Structure 1
Amino acid sequence: MKTIAIIPARGGSKRLPEKNIQFLGELPLLVHSILYAQENKDIIDEVYVSTDNLDIKKIALQFDAKVIDRPDSISGDLEPTVTALKHVLESIESNVGNVVLLQATNPFRPKELLKDAFKMFKDNNFDSLFTVSRNHQKFGKIKNNRFEPFNYAIGQRSQDLEPLFSENGLLYITKADLIHENIIISENAFPFEVNHIFAQVDIDNPDDLDYARYLYHKK
C-alpha cells in the first residue's frame, strides 16, 4: 500500500493574503513542502496538493505535484484540515495505506525528520504520529487582574518545571483508514519530540513570514 503526502493549501487567508504563495527565499512558501516530500521518495510515493486556488494549482503543477481541486464547500475558514485530506483520498484511485500531512505554513523541517518519524511509526505500528516541541516558558492565567501561575510556582527555576509540550505542526503521519473517519491525531497517537529552531516557524501573519525569511537567510 502506498504512502502519500498531502499539502493542504487553500487560497483564502485574511491575516496574510496569498499566504501559501508568498516568497520565502527564491521559492513560493508552498514549494518548500513539495520539495521536502519529493526528497523523501523512499517513503513517499506521491505528493498531492489540495487547493481551491488557480495560482496555487499552477505552482504546484510546475513543481510536479499532483493537484486535487478542492470544492468551495470544504474551503472555508472554519473547515478542519481533515476534510481536505479525506477529499483527496476519495478523489484518487491509489491504494493508500498512510498519509503524511505537510502544512505549507511550516516550511522548515530537519532533513532527517520524516525518515526518523516514519521509522518510529512503522516499527511500532502506530496508527498516527505527530511532532511536538518542549516549552520551557512559565505559563499562567489572568483572573480579576491577577496573574495565576499555571505550570510553576512563583520563584521556581525554569529548569525545574514539569515538561510541557506543544503541537508544532512540522508533520503528521496517519493511517488512511483514520482519515476516512475524520481523524488525524488518534487517542493513541505517538508524540514525536522535535526541539529545533525550525519547529518555531508557523506562518500565519506578516511577522511570522518576516521571521521565516530571517531564518532562511541566516541558516
Structure 2
Amino acid sequence: MKTIAIIPARGGSKRIPDKNIQMLGGLPLLAHSILYAQQNSNIIDEVYVSTDNEEIKKTALQFGAKVIDRPAAISGDLEPTVSALRHALEAIESNTVENVILLQATNPLRPENLIVDTFEAYQKGNCDSLFTVTRNHQKFGKITDRKFIPFNYAIGQRSQDLEPLFFENGLVYITKASLIRNDIIISENAFPFEVNHIFAQVDIDTPEDLDYAAYLFQKQL
C-alpha cells in the first residue's frame, strides 16, 4: 500500500498574484514542498500537485511532481481543500493508496525531519489522521461594548502561567485515503503533533508573509 503526497496549488490568488510560483530563495514557492516530499522518498511513494493553472502545472512537472488537472468547479476561493484531495484520489484511480500526506504550498519552510517524525507518530499512535500544531503564548480576548474581555487569561496574569493553547500551523497533515474519500482530513481522533519551531509561524498569504519567509530562508543557509 502506498503513501502519497498531494500539494494543492490553484491559480487565481488575489493578495499575491501567481502566489504559488512566486520566488523564494531562488525557487518557486511550490517547489519547496515538492522537493521536501522528494527528500522523504523512503516514506512518500509519489508526489502529486493538484492545480487548475498551466504555469503552476509547468513548474510542478519541471520539479518532478505528477500533476492532477483540477476542474474549475472545485478551484474557487471558497472550495475546501479536501475537494482537491478527493478529486486527486479519484483521478489516480488506485486502490493501493493508503495514506495521504497533505503539504500546503503556502507553508514552504518545514523542519528537516518533520515528515519522518510525524509519520512515525502516525503509525505508532494507530490513528487515522495527524496534523501539526504549535503552542500559542499570546493573551487573547474579545471586544464587547468597547470593553476588552480576556479569553485565555486574567488581567495581570503572567504569559508563562497561561493555560496551554495551540493553533493548527498547516505544516503537515497525514490522513487515511479512506477518510479523504469521505471528505475528511482531520478526524475526531486525529493526533495533534506539536511543533514549536519558527517555521510554524510562516503561512504565505500576504507580501509581508513572503518577505518574512525569505528572511528566515536566508537565515537558515
Shorter-normalised TM range:
over 0.9
Q: Map 1:15-30 onto structure 2 (within 5 A).
A: 15-30=15-30
| Residue in 2 that maps onto 1:202 | 203
Q: Deviations over 1:127-168 (max 9, x none)?
A: 000000000000000111110000000000001000000000
| Residue in 1 that maps onto 2:122 | 121
Q: Deviations over 1:2-54 (max 9, x none)?
A: 00000000001111110000000110000000000000000000000000000
3-state SS in 2 of match to 1:17: coil
Tell whether 2:9 aligns with 1:14: no
- Between the aligned partners of 1:16 and 1:150, the Cα distance in structure 2 is 33
3-state SS in 1 of match to 2:47: strand
- Between the aligned partners of 1:187 and 1:177, the Cα distance in structure 2 is 14
Aligned length: 219
3-state SS in 1 of match to 2:73: helix
- Between the aligned partners of 1:124 and 1:199, the Cα distance in structure 2 is 23
TM-score, length basis structure 1: 0.99
Q: Deviations over 1:170-193 (max 9, x none)?
A: 010000000000000001000000
- Between the aligned partners of 2:205 and 2:55, the Cα distance in structure 1 is 19
| Residue in 1 that maps onto 2:92 | 92
Question: What is the Cα deviation at residue 93 of structure 1?
Answer: 3.0
Question: What is the Cα deviation at residue 217 of structure 1?
Answer: 1.1
- Between the aligned partners of 1:204 and 1:185, the Cα distance in structure 2 is 22
| Residue in 2 that maps onto 1:179 | 180
3-state SS in 2 of match to 1:61: helix
Q: CA RMSD in A?
A: 0.6
Structure 1 residue runs of 4 or more that deviate by more than 6 Å after TM superposition: none
Query: Partner amino acid for 2:147?
Result: R
Structure 2: 5+ residue runs without aligned partners?
none
| Residue in 1 that maps onto 2:154 | 153
Structure 1: 5+ residue runs without aligned partners?
none
Q: Map 1:42-81 onto structure 2 (within 5 A).
A: 42-81=42-81
Query: Partner amino acid for 1:196?
Result: H
- Between the aligned partners of 1:97 and 1:77, the Cα distance in structure 2 is 28
Q: Deviations over 1:46-94 (max 9, x none)?
A: 0000000000000100111000000000000000000000000000133
- Between the aligned partners of 2:125 and 2:155, the Cα distance in structure 1 is 40
TM-score, length basis structure 2: 0.98
| Residue in 2 that maps onto 1:169 | 170
3-state SS in 2 of match to 1:82: helix
Q: Percent of pairs identical after alignment?
A: 76
Q: Deviations over 1:173-216 (max 9, x none)?
A: 00000000000000100000000000000000111001111111
